[in-house]
Amino acid sequence: MVEVADKQKKYFNPNIKNKKKLQAEIRNLKIELLINQLSFNKELYIGKTVQKGGFMPTAADIKHNTGRELQIKVFDNLINKLKILLKKPDEPFNHFDWKLDFPEVLNPYLVNGKGGFDIVIGNPPYLNFKMYSTEDKEVYRHLFSEVFDGKADIYYYFFYKSHELSKSQGITSLITSRYWIEAEYAKKLRKFVSTKTTLKEIIDFKNVTVFDGIGIKTCITSFLNIPDYLTLFHYRFHPGKKIDYIDLSEYVSNIIPKENIIAKDSWNLTNEESTDILKLIEKDAISLEEIANCKQGIVTGLDKAFITTENEFKNLPKKIVKPWLKVGDIQKYAIELVEKRELVYTKLINSLDDYPQLKQRLLSFKTKLSNRREAKNGKIRWFDLQWPREQELFESEKLICRFKASENTFCYDANGFYSSADTTVVALNESGKEKYETKYLLALLNSKVLSFYFKSYGKLMDYRYEYYPGPVGRLRIKITTEQKCYSTIVDYILFLKTQELQSVSDQLMPTYFEQIIDGMVYELYFPELLKKHNREIIKHLGELPEFTDSMSNEQKMKICKKVFDRLNDKEHPVRINLFYMNSIPEIAIIEGKNENN
């Protein structure tokens, strides 16, 4: 081993000329070392794994002995292959072993417990988890269990390996996809980095594309290979869209205390002022998932088989035909259908033979439907929806949001829409129904406060955040005795979004009511702050007439106009307080109007 290390040092010496001969000598030394190691391992195995049964072996003995002989043959085959390679110097030997190729750094027999590289720099491959096989995943699960997740991209394991290859207090710097900072599936990686290393700096390019032709957004992460060495680290991010080179003076820089990340599922990488705001939002609040079910929409497995826009299911029973909602139909507060669509909900079909026309339609897709994983393993029938979810989720009063959006975008539905896989559905659970109104939740979830909160931990991808069920469930909800005020104004907004508003004044109404909701939510989450600055909203609202089922659209419009005209009067305290709301520094930060945040 020492001889290999000496020859490698000579090989990298610029003054050595006969490198080809030296390379051949290193090759042969490596082969000899491997032959000796395998021969030693073989004898060790033979000594530990004795033959069983003597002249009258049992079935178990025969199985044991057969396995033993096969393993010995594996050793012999490898040793023979290496001996042949030793006799054929022109044949390539492409074996790599850290301890063989860097013995003076990593071989424990040579470094006396002080092994490892001083610096590890890397740009791991950008391979999505979908690109490797089940067998590959099992290998990664075994080798990298501390950071492994079934949906982990391959660069996660480079963090682990870098830590393994570095010496104590060695430094690693990797440029990778930035998504691990927030991704739901990177919890174990974040825990590993925060507990096994000391972060020095993250340079987050956010929406900037660094590599030409590569759409993946990146970051540079630098850490020391020792935990708890520093209590603070720098998180720097670029607020723009394009850069020609890295100039850190153009980056927003936050100094992050380690307590913001240590062993936490999600990291808080905001500055001190924003962190204080997040704490106020969380104070006396509960997570949405405690009071509501947050679920992904339906995965059909083949949309064109189960969905129509041409009224093809008109002869089927209404109980199995459902109105279908796609992500493009979801707007803030209300559904705005691009076109009418229907879904056939095959979960309710006992026998496809009962519906000949439907059977004929689905038979044309049978090959593709039968090749779906769940159909192959017998979990579903060939004509079933892949993941149909529970009917109750869609039939109940609910909220729906897009999987990807630039801000919180939740709409209200009480018409039994079933929604596509790229949506998240939120429906109050039994305990939630006892204390909360769905429309009150809608007001909170669409507010600037909770949009700001979501962006503090949500995964950012190309200017949009991922509103998957898990992250949505972590939004923080506060309760109030004034829920009816919120719900009433939400009713105004929902109604106005169904009307064709002609005049400029009328078109302002839904926007102004949304601004009032934002003001009310500010007061709910920061009551002392608004009281201190004399910017309260709720006590100035006055009478808010409620809609009834018997009212005509004309009557509802009359109510909306009357309330709007009153609250929008230039002397009214609601209008005045809304206008000056972002003069409060904390509100300015939430609304992105503070240059330093």
The string of pLDDT tens digits covering residues 216-227 is 899 999 999 999
In a domain, 75, yes or no: yes
From CA 523, how far away is CA 541, in angstroms rounded?
13
From CA 409, how far away is CA 333, in angstroms rounded?
7
448 and 339 inside one domain: yes
- Mean pLDDT computed over 472-480: 97
From CA 28, how far away is CA 89, in angstroms rounded?
8
Spatial contact of 204 and 250, defined as CB atoms under 8 Å apart: no
- The CATH number linked to 437 is 3.90.220.10
360 and 213 inside one domain: no
From CA 80, how far away is CA 83, in angstroms rounded?
5
Tens-digit pLDDT profile for residues 64-106: 999 889 989 988 998 998 899 888 888 888 777 777 677 667 7
334 and 401 inside one domain: yes
Q: Is 323 helix (H, G, I), strand (E, B) or coil?
A: strand
336 and 311 inside one domain: yes
For residue 131 the two structure tokens come to 């690109």
In a domain, 277, yes or no: no
Instruction: Name the domain boundary from 477, 507, 540.
Output: 477
395 and 295 inside one domain: yes
136 and 83 inside one domain: no
Number of domains in the chain: 4
The predicted structure's pLDDT at residue 4 = 67
From CA 220, how far away is CA 239, in angstroms rounded?
16
Phi, psi of 512 (to 5 degrees): -70, -40
- Mean pLDDT computed over 573-581: 97
In a domain, 258, yes or no: yes
Instruction: Name the domain boundary from 44, 65, 100.
Output: 100
Instruction: Name the domain boundary from 217, 235, 269.
Output: 269
- From first CA to last CA, the distance across the chain in angstroms is 56
Tens-digit pLDDT profile for residues 28-72: 888 888 888 889 989 998 998 888 988 888 988 888 999 889 989
In a domain, 108, yes or no: no
From CA 496, how far away is CA 486, in angstroms rounded?
16
Residue 46 makes CB contacts below 8 A (sequence gap 6+) with: 72
255 and 123 inside one domain: yes
The predicted structure's pLDDT at residue 247 = 86
407 and 433 inside one domain: yes
With cut-offs at 50, 70 and 90, classify the pLDDT of residue 8. low
Q: What is the pTM of this model?
A: 0.80
* The pLDDT of residue 596 is above 60: no
In a domain, 276, yes or no: no
381 and 514 inside one domain: no
Torsion of CA 176, 179, 185, 188, to 10 degrees: 50
403 and 369 inside one domain: yes
Full domain range(s) for residue 454: 286-477
258 and 296 inside one domain: no
In a domain, 111, yes or no: no
Q: Is 194 helix (H, G, I), strand (E, B) or coil?
A: helix
56 and 76 inside one domain: yes
In a domain, 491, yes or no: yes
**Three-state helix/strand/coil letters over 554-568:** HHHHHHHHHHHHHHC
For residue 419 the two structure tokens come to 């929604």
In a domain, 335, yes or no: yes
* The pLDDT of residue 418 is above 70: yes
* Sign of torsion over alpha carbons 63, 66, 72, 75: negative
